[in-house]
Amino acid sequence: MQKIEFLSGDRIYLRPMELEDVDMFCKWFNDPEVRQYLSMVFPLSKLKEKEWVEKIQKDRDQVVLVIVVKSEDNPIGTVGLHRGDRTSRNAEFGIAIGEKSYWSQGYGTEGAKLMIDYGFGTLNLHRIYLRAFAFNERARRSYIKIGFREEGVFRDAVYRDGRYHDVLVMSILKSEWSG
């Protein structure tokens, strides 16, 4: 099958999600180590995940792409811009590297930069924001490197592992993005 690159970077490219990806998504997003940083707390069946993929793809306010490592043509995670406020031209950024052996190697940062560039340069967004669990220090450092600024925390907004945690809010404005 021919490679489909929607956004192309140095070490990775981003391609559309396909229904065949559902098995892989279920492996990633049920894994406790992966989902500890994500908002999902319920088990994810293939059936449910298939519905989600179909829903996202019908929705013009959300774009989710698969992150693929160029050298191996190996999918390792997803990155997305999710429904914000059309009038205020904002969207919520989300990313997950499901293949744990690819963590901490800069792939997420590169995927994020491609997606943000697409958000500002093609979708004409004004503001891209994200929420991250306050205990996810690695993600915070990566977001700062990309150019996100901390805006504050939602106090005790999430319950995980028996207690409440703060949720960190970060954003980047188009005027701050140099590409």
Partner 1 sequence: MEIKFIDGEQVYLRPVEAEDADIFCQWFNDPEFRKLGGGELPTSKHEQKKEIERMHKGENAVWLVITLRDTNNPIGFVVLGKIDRVNRNAQFGIGIGDKTHWARGYGTEAAKLVVDYGFNTLNLHRIWLEVYDYNKRAIRSYEKVGFRAECTLRDGEYVDGKYHDLVVMSILENEWNR
Binding residues for partner 1, rule: CB under 8 A, are: 41, 85, 87-90, 126-127, 129, 149, 151-159, 164, 169, 171, 173
**Nearest distance from C-beta of residue 161 to partner 1, angstroms:** 13
**Nearest distance from C-beta of residue 85 to partner 1, angstroms:** 7
**Nearest distance from C-beta of residue 41 to partner 1, angstroms:** 6
Report CA 38 to chain centroid distance, whole Å.
Answer: 10
Q: Which is nearer to partner 1, 56 or 158 (CB)?
A: 158
Q: Which is nearer to partner 1, 16 or 121 (CB)?
A: 121
Kind and range of the H or E run holding 76: strand 74-85
Residues 6 or more apart whose CB falls under 8 angstroms from that of 40 comprise 29
CA distance 145 to 63: 23
Q: Is 63 exposed, middle or buried (0-12, 13-18, 19+ CB in 10 A)?
A: buried
**Nearest distance from C-beta of residue 141 to partner 1, angstroms:** 20
Q: Which is nearer to partner 1, 44 or 153 (CB)?
A: 153
Q: Which is nearer to partner 1, 18 or 85 (CB)?
A: 85
Q: What are phi and psi of 5, to 5 degrees?
A: -110, 120
